[in-house]
Chains A and B, each alone.
Chain A
Amino acid sequence: MGVLQAAWLIARKDLTVELRSRELIYTAVFFALSCLLVFAFAFVGERTVVENAPAGILWVTTIFAASLALGRTFERERQADTLRALLLAPIERPSIYLGKLLSLLILLFGIQVVVVPLVGLLFGAPIFRAPLLLGGLLLLGTVGFAAVGTLFAAMLQRASSRDVLLPVVLYPVTLPAILGGMQGTLWVLAAEPNYELARTWLAMLVFFDAVFLTLALWTFAPVTSE
Chain B
Amino acid sequence: MTRPHQGASDCDFDVVAAVEVSRHYGRRRALAGVTGQWTAGTITGLFGPNGAGKSTLLGVLSTLLRPSGGTVRYGDRDARAWGDILRSRIGVLGHDLFLYPELTARENLIFFGRLYGMAPADLERSVETALKRAGLAARADDRVGSFSRGMRQRLAAERALLHGPRLVLFDEPFTGLDDASVERMIARLRELREQGAIVLAATHDLEIAEQFVDGGLCLQGGRIVTIPPGPEPLRARYRRAVEEAA
Q: Which residue of B lies closest to A92 (CB)?
A: B84
Tell me which of B65, B85, B116 has the highest count of chain A C-beta atoms within 10 A of its own C-beta: B116
A4 to chain B, nearest CB (A): 14
Chain B, range 91-120, C-beta contacts under 8 Å to A: 92, 94-103, 107, 111-112, 114-117
Q: Is the pair A88, B107 in contact by a Cβ cutoff of 8 Å? A: no
> Residue-by-residue, is B43-70 near A (CB-CB < 8 Å gives 1, otherwise 0)?
0000000000000000100111110000
Knowing A90-B8, A90-B84, A92-B84 are in contact, say whether A85-B112 is a contact too (CB < 8 A).
yes
Instruction: Give the size of the chain B interface in residues (CB under 8 angstroms).
Output: 32
* Interface bin, chain A: 20 to 34
B141 to chain A, nearest CB (A): 13
Q: Is the pair A82, B115 in contact by a Cβ cutoff of 8 Å? A: no
Chain B, range 77-97, C-beta contacts under 8 Å to A: 84-88, 90, 92, 94-97
Q: Is the pair A17, B103 in contact by a Cβ cutoff of 8 Å? A: yes
Chain B binding site: helix, strand, loop or mixed by DSSP? loop
Q: Is the pair B95, A91 in contact by a Cβ cutoff of 8 Å? A: no
Knowing A88-B62, A90-B87, A226-B59 are in contact, say whether A20-B98 is a contact too (CB < 8 A).
no
Q: Is the pair A90, B88 in contact by a Cβ cutoff of 8 Å? A: yes
Residue in A16, A91, A92, A226 whose CB lies within 8 Å of B64: A226
Q: Is the pair A88, B100 in contact by a Cβ cutoff of 8 Å? A: no
Q: Is A42 an interface residue (CB 8 A)?
A: no
A102 to chain B, nearest CB (A): 15
A44 to chain B, nearest CB (A): 40
Q: Is A129 an interface residue (CB 8 A)?
A: no
Q: Which residue of B lies closest to A96 (CB)?
A: B115
Binding site for A on B (CB under 8 A): 8, 59, 62-66, 84-88, 90, 92, 94-103, 107, 111-112, 114-117, 143
Known: A17-B102, A88-B64. 8 other contacts (CB 8 A): A1-B115, A17-B103, A82-B99, A84-B64, A84-B92, A90-B84, A90-B86, A90-B116
Sampled A-B contacts (15; CB under 8 Å): A13-B103, A16-B107, A80-B96, A80-B97, A80-B99, A80-B101, A81-B96, A81-B98, A84-B96, A85-B98, A89-B87, A89-B115, A90-B8, A90-B85, A90-B117
